[in-house]
A and B are shown apart, each in its own frame.
Chain A
Amino acid sequence: AQSVTQLGSHVSVSEGALVLLRCNYSSSVPPYLFWYVQYPNQGLQLLLKYTTGATLVKGINGFEAEFKKSETSFHLTKPSAHMSDAAEYFCAVSDLSGGTSYGKLTFGQGTILTVHP
Chain B
Amino acid sequence: GAVVSQHPSWVICKSGTSVKIECRSLDFQATTMFWYRQFPKQSLMLMATSNEGSKATYEQGVEKDKFLINHASLTLSTLTVTSAHPEDSSFYICSAGPVPETQYFGPGTRLLVL
Contact = CB atoms under 8 A, between A and B. Distances in A.
Nearest to A45: B105
Interface residues of B, number: 28
B57 A103 contact: no
Given A49-B102, A103-B32, A103-B100, A43 B46 contact: no
Interface stretch (B14-22, B74-82, B106-114): B106-114
Interface of A: 32, 34, 36, 41-46, 49, 51, 90, 94, 96, 100-110
28 contacts: A34-B102, A36-B105, A41-B108, A41-B110, A42-B108, A43-B6, A43-B93, A43-B105, A43-B106, A43-B107, A43-B108, A44-B105, A46-B103, A51-B101, A94-B101, A100-B54, A101-B34, A101-B57, A102-B100, A103-B32, A103-B97, A103-B103, A105-B44, A105-B46, A105-B95, A107-B43, A109-B42, A110-B42
Contacts of A44: 44, 93, 95, 105
Interface in B44-100: 44-46, 49, 51, 54, 57, 91, 93, 95, 97, 99-100
B43 A46 contact: no
B104 interface: yes
A43 B44 CA distance: 11
B63 to A, nearest CB: 18
A64 to B, nearest CB: 18
In the complex, the 5 A-B pairs of residues with the closest C-beta atoms, listed nearest first:
A103-B100, A44-B105, A43-B105, A43-B107, A101-B49
